[in-house]
């Protein structure tokens, strides 16, 4: 089977986010960028399915300016076979991204699409589900286990209060949660090899998708900082403060 | 304006997140109607109808909705929702699962995880794991929104007098089916609903030591949580995780024990009213957000705390007992 993995270029998760002085957005100038951690898990899962003989081809796709090719090369170094960049000037919103991915799905005809459950920049948690609705595919979101059967996939999902398992007919959408797997590091030989793997570029126009944005970003602020309180000397003082000062006991 | 709120429930009882989502709906303003979709959930519908400000409850009682499968629920919500100006659901794993499908079916964007209502089309929401707060304005004619429940105070569960109306639209897809679920069973309150939460981190050293937290939690009627480090180390199951990638909590009192205070953990608990940190490393970042910090070995502190809380509790009992 063929697996399509959608990946996003985001700020590296180790970088401290700063808001621009004019509060128009966060400042991403000269900031280290990386593959979104949930997308990395998605690539890893697809590659493992290929290594297990379940999948025979893993295609990665990313939407955005030329810089996203860096993350596509990372995905290729992790084991994906080929890459598609859908070139846009900036990052589209989730609905436009889902429409673009629908175009790619129609062209590639994958049996499974794996995405991260959310990107760590906008934290929307939407694209996979939207792609499901647009393509009519069933979805297994927040996956912690993926087991492929004959024409179906069982997905164990992390839900509030525990785990839920659903059975989905293929083709299906899977979005990854953190504990699905632990992604490998790309080895140097694989990084070298990735440079020669095919990377094709297309555009929303070619896929017949109009990119629009209906949510306007008015302002970005730094959240109210909590200030450090007091240090207490011992348990007695702690219990006393909680009872008599904070009045929470 | 008319608002459709999709209720979260387990077919028996309404989840507190629904009452908080109703509070967000009241801030937007307009007529509020609620959809209760499930199986054998008429009691839920009757109870939701009593919540403050609910005009009408629509009850979709069918096998197709028993397990809240996103493929079925989203079709139902999109079908009903096209007549409303806003569709709201709590940003629980259920709401997060089906709402984006609703938005896509209606060809509108979704505003995820709002923490405040600025006007009927403008909302605040956390981005970058809560390290920035965005104010966004939706230009869509139907606004599809998920609500971070901890950011809103629940409306009164009693006092309203909405009507309950049964609807018989059934959307049942043949591509997905429910296989089973494993829910953690606990006598303690749910993490996201508890007034007091006590959490352990890597400093707890192993899973067995969490019983020290449980003992204290049981004295206080508290829930027990954990940091991602403790979950990743295999001390406790992942549904106990508090943080950006786990549960977001905002209790009256949050006690962090042996937790260093990584950004990802802080994002899940920094809106708690009072934060206590117990850690032997006085440089731990958790102290920068704690109202009360105790620099000490948790293995000394926890037994003493348990003892002292016992005394406190006993002191407060009437002398006749």
Domain with residue B301: its CATH number is 3.40.50.1220
One domain for residues B266 and B119: no
pLDDT for B310 equals: 73
The CATH architecture that domain A2-245 belongs to is 3-Layer(aba) Sandwich (3.40)
Cis bond leading into A171, ω under 30°? yes
One domain for residues B204 and B64: no
One domain for residues B46 and B112: yes
Mean pLDDT for A146-155 is 98
Q: What are phi and psi of A218, to 5 degrees?
A: -85, -40
Instruction: List alpha helices for chain B, DSSP H.
Output: 16-28, 42-49, 70-81, 93-105, 210-220, 228-232, 263-269, 298-315
Q: Report how far residue B317's alpha carbon sits from residue B164's, in angstroms, rounded to the nearest whole number.
A: 44
One domain for residues B154 and B201: no
CB contact under 8 A, B136 and A178: no
Cα distance from B293 to chain A (closest Cα, Å)?
A: 4
- Flag whether B161 is in a domain: yes
pLDDT for B320 equals: 46
- Flag whether B296 is in a domain: yes
* Residue found under tokens 């017949």: A208
Give the total number of structural domains in chain B: 2
* Residue found under tokens 């593959």: A35
Cα distance from A111 to chain B (closest Cα, Å)?
A: 13
Whether the pLDDT of residue A85 is over 90: the answer is yes
* Domain ranges, residue B24: 2-166
Interface pTM, i.e. ipTM: 0.95
Q: Is A210 in CB contact (< 8 Å) with chain B?
A: no
Q: Report how far residue A41's alpha carbon sits from residue A246's, in angstroms, rounded to the nearest whole number.
A: 43
CB contact under 8 A, B137 and A229: no
List, for chain B, all residue ranges whose pLDDT scores fall below the cut of 70.
311-321
Neighbouring-strand partners of residue A156: A145, A165
User: Which candidate in A223, A237, A243 is best for mutational testing of the B interface (most B CBs within 10 A)?
Assistant: A223
pLDDT for B314 equals: 56
Per-residue pLDDT tens over the stretch A179-215:
899 999 999 999 999 999 999 999 999 999 999 999 9
pLDDT for B230 equals: 96
One domain for residues B161 and B212: no
Compare CB distances from B112 to A125, A137, A234 and report the shortest one's residue: A125
Per-residue pLDDT tens over the stretch A13-32:
888 899 999 999 999 999 99
Per-residue pLDDT tens over the stretch B219-257:
999 999 999 999 989 999 888 999 987 888 999 999 999
CATH of the domain at B17: 3.40.50.620
- Flag whether B171 is in a domain: no
- Flag whether B321 is in a domain: no
Per-residue tokens: B254: 């949050």
- Flag whether B188 is in a domain: no
CB contact under 8 A, A226 and B133: no
Looking at B166, B183, B208, the residue that finishes a domain is: B166
User: B87 — alpha (psi -120 to 50), left (phi > 0) or beta?
Assistant: beta
One domain for residues B248 and B207: yes
Using a CB-CB cut-off of 8 Å, the residues of chain A touching B308 are: 235-236, 239
- How many angstroms separate the first and last alpha carbons of chain B? 56
pLDDT for B31 equals: 96
Q: Is A69 in CB contact (< 8 Å) with chain B?
A: no
Using a CB-CB cut-off of 8 Å, the residues of chain A touching B304 are: 235
Q: Is B183 in CB contact (< 8 Å) with chain A?
A: yes
Per-residue tokens: A47: 């590659």
The B86-90 sheet, strands edge to edge: B110-114, B143-147, B86-90, B2-6, B31-38, B56-61, B163-166
């Amino acid at each position: 089977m063929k697996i399509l993995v959608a990946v996003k270029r985001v700020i590296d998760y180790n970088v401290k986010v700063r808001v621009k002085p004019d509060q128009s957005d966060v400042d991403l100038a000269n900031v280290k960028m990386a593959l979104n951690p949930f997308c990395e898990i998605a690539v890893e899962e697809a590659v493992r399915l290929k290594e297990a003989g379940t999948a025979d081809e893993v295609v990665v796709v990313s939407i955005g300016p030329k810089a996203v090719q860096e993350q596509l090369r990372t995905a290729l170094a992790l084991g994906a076979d080929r890459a598609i960049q859908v070139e846009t000037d900036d990052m589209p919103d989730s609905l436009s991204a889902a429409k673009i991915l629908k175009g790619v799905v129609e062209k590639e005809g994958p049996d499974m699409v794996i995405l991260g459950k959310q990107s760590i920049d906008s934290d929307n948690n939407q694209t996979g589900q939207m792609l499901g609705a647009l393509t009519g595919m069933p979805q297994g979101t927040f996956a912690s286990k993926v087991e492929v059967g004959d024409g179906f996939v069982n997905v164990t999902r992390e839900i509030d209060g525990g785990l839920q398992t659903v059975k989905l007919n293929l083709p299906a959408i899977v979005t990854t949660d953190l504990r699905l797997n632990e992604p490998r590091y790309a080895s140097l030989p694989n990084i070298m090899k990735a440079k020669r793997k095919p990377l094709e570029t297309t555009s929303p126009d070619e896929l017949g998708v109009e990119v629009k944005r209906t949510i306007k970003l008015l302002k970005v602020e730094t959240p109210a900082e909590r200030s450090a309180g007091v240090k207490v000397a011992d348990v007695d003082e702690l219990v006393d403060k909680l009872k008599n000062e904070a009045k929470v006991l | 304006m008319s608002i459709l709120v999709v209720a979260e429930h387990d077919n028996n009882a309404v989840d507190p997140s629904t009452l908080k989502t109703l509070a967000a709906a009241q801030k937007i303003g307009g007529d509020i109607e609620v959809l209760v979709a499930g199986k054998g959930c008429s009691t839920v519908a009757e109870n939701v109808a009593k919540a403050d400000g609910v005009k009408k409850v629509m009850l979709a009682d069918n096998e197709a909705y028993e397990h809240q499968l996103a493929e079925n629920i989203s079709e139902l919500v999109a079908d009903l929702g096209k007549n409303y100006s806003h569709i709201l659901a709590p940003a629980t794993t259920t709401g997060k699962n089906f709402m984006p499908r609703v938005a896509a079916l209606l060809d509108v964007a979704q505003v995820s995880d709002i923490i405040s209502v600025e006007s009927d089309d403008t909302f605040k929401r956390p981005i970058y794991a809560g390290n920035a707060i965005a104010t966004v304005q939706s230009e869509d004619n139907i606004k599809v929104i998920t609500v971070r429940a901890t950011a809103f105070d629940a409306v009164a569960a009693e006092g309203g007098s909405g009507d309950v109306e049964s609807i018989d639209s059934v959307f049942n897809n043949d591509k997905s089916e429910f296989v089973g679920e494993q829910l953690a069973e606990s006598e303690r309150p749910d993490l996201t609903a508890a007034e007091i939460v006590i959490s352990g981190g890597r400093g707890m050293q192993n899973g067995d030591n969490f019983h020290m937290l449980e003992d204290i939690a049981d004295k206080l009627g508290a829930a027990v949580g954990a940091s991602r480090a403790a979950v990743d180390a295999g001390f406790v199951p992942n549904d106990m995780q508090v943080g950006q990638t786990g549960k977001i909590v905002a209790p009256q009192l949050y006690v962090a024990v042996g937790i260093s205070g990584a950004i990802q953990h802080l994002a899940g608990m920094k809106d708690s009213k009072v934060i206590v940190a117990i850690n032997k490393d006085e440089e731990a970042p958790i102290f920068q957000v704690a109202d009360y910090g105790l620099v000490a070995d948790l293995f000394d502190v926890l037994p003493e705390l348990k003892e002292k809380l016992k005394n406190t509790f006993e002191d407060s009992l009437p002398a006749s007992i």
